[in-house]
Every structure is written in structure tokens, then in C-alpha cells.
């Protein structure tokens, strides 16, 4: 049974419902809202699609565990930081260390860092949303189903009536076009 979308409900209310009922349905809706953002964060640091997908799943698992232990007030900025820290830990495990991250961490207090991260994340999410809206309908549909709803090529094909090869093509072209649109938009700022 598919739960009706609650896009009109704010994050705080979904979190409150989760804390009150301990029902993962509320948490699932929050995570679904930010799947594309989390994937973008993971791609930014890991620079690999498969690793990024795995990282998003691991972040989901961490979020589910952590929210049972701690009360979070600002989910969007918190989940962004969870994803960023997860990626940085994975890179450190591989022996990759970012000098600029260390320098920024030393010079910025935690409160300033969280605030600036939240602002930056909001801007990045808006950029992705705007770029997504510039894609043609088929690419937008396939990208949304594949990355946000984590549907397989076959599931997208069945839901949309498109051939699997068309679905793959729309996803590949959509990703490429998203990147081009976002680069173009960042140069125009």
C-alpha cells in the first residue's frame, strides 16, 4: 500500500509525527524529499555514481538510527551534515584527506558552520530544482523516478510506457543536461 504524499506538511511536523508515533512512514517521507539533495552531496565528494548511491543508502540507515536517539529540530541542515560527514569519513578511510576542509573547520565555529552549510545546501537544492524544471518532460520524469523514488529501469519503463532503452537514454541525457544547466546557471550568477 502506497502512503499518500504529504508534500504540504513541513519538515518539523513530519519530524514531530515521527517522534510521537515512532512510525517510519513519516521519516520515509522526509528522506524522500531530500534524496536528490543527498545524492548531490555524495556525488560532490565521492565523484562516483555507484559509491554515491551506496552512500545515500548508508546515510538513510544512519538517519533512522540517529533520530531514535536524538531530537533534531532542523532536519534539512542536519541530514545534509550527516551526508557530508559520511562522505568525508569514507574518503578518509580510502586515504584521501581534504586540506581545505580542515582549514575551514578550524577557522569556523560549529554554529557558523551549521548555519552556512544550511544556507549553502538550500541554495544547492534550489539550483537542482530549477535545473530539473528545465529538462524536457521525459528526462525530468525518468530522473525523478530513478533518483528520488529509486525505481529501476524496468519499473520506470512499466510506469511510463517507455522502452527500457529510452528510459536509460533519458536518464543519461537528463544527468548530462542537469550538469550543463547547473554549470551554466552558476556562471550566470
* Cα–Cα distance measured from residue 176 to residue 182, given in angstroms and rounded to the nearest whole number: 10
Give the dihedral sign, CA 158/162/166/170.
negative
Question: pLDDT at position 111, please?
Answer: 53
Mean pLDDT by 10 residues, the chain (189 residues): 60 90 88 91 91 94 88 88 91 67 46 62 71 85 79 87 92 88 75
Residue 19: count other Cβ atoms within 10 Å of its Cβ: 15
The pLDDT value recorded for residue 116 is 64
| Per-residue pLDDT, 52 | 93
Residue 61: predicted pLDDT: 92
Written as nine digits, the cell of 176 is 548530462
H helices of 47-74, in order, are 49-69
pTM of the predicted structure, to 2 decimals: 0.51
C-alpha cell at 63: 538517519
78-133 pLDDT, tens digit per residue, is 999 999 999 988 888 877 655 444 444 444 445 555 566 666 766 776 777 777 78
Nearest to 118 by CA among 148, 152, 69, 84: 84
Q: Are 78 and 113 in contact (CB under 8 A)?
A: no
pLDDT for the residue 56? 95
**140-162: burial string, b at 16+ Cβ within 10 Å, e else:** bbbbbbbbbeebebeebbeebeb
Instruction: Judge contact between 127 and 36, C-beta under 8 A.
Output: no
> What single DSSP character describes residue 111?
H
pLDDT score at 100: 42
Amino acid at each position: 500500500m502506497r502512503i499518500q504524499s504529504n508534500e504540504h506538511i513541513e519538515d518539523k511536523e513530519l519530524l514531530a509525527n515521527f517522534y510521537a508515533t515512532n512510525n517510519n512512514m513519516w521519516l520515509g517521507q522526509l528522506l524522500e524529499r531530500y534524496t536528490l539533495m543527498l545524492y548531490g552531496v555524495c556525488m560532490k565528494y565521492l565523484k562516483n555514481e555507484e559509491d554515491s548511491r551506496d552512500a545515500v543508502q548508508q546515510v538513510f540507515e544512519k538517519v533512522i538510527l540517529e533520530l531514535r536517539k536524538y531530537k533534531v529540530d532542523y532536519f534539512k541542515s542536519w541530514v545534509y551534515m550527516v551526508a557530508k560527514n559520511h562522505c568525508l569519513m569514507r574518503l578518509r578511510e580510502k586515504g584521501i584527506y581534504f586540506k581545505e576542509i580542515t582549514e575551514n573547520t578550524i577557522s569556523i565555529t560549529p554554529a557558523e558552520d551549521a548555519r552556512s552549510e544550511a544556507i549553502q545546501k538550500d541554495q544547492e537544492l534550489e539550483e537542482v530544482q530549477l535545473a530539473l524544471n528545465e529538462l524536457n518532460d521525459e528526462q525530468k520524469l525518468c530522473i525523478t523516478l530513478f533518483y528520488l523514488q529509486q525505481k529501476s529501469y524496468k519499473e520506470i519503463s512499466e510506469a511510463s510506457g517507455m522502452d527500457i532503452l529510452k528510459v536509460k537514454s533519458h536518464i543519461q541525457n537528463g544527468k548530462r543536461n542537469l550538469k550543463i544547466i547547473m554549470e551554466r546557471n552558476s556562471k550566470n550568477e
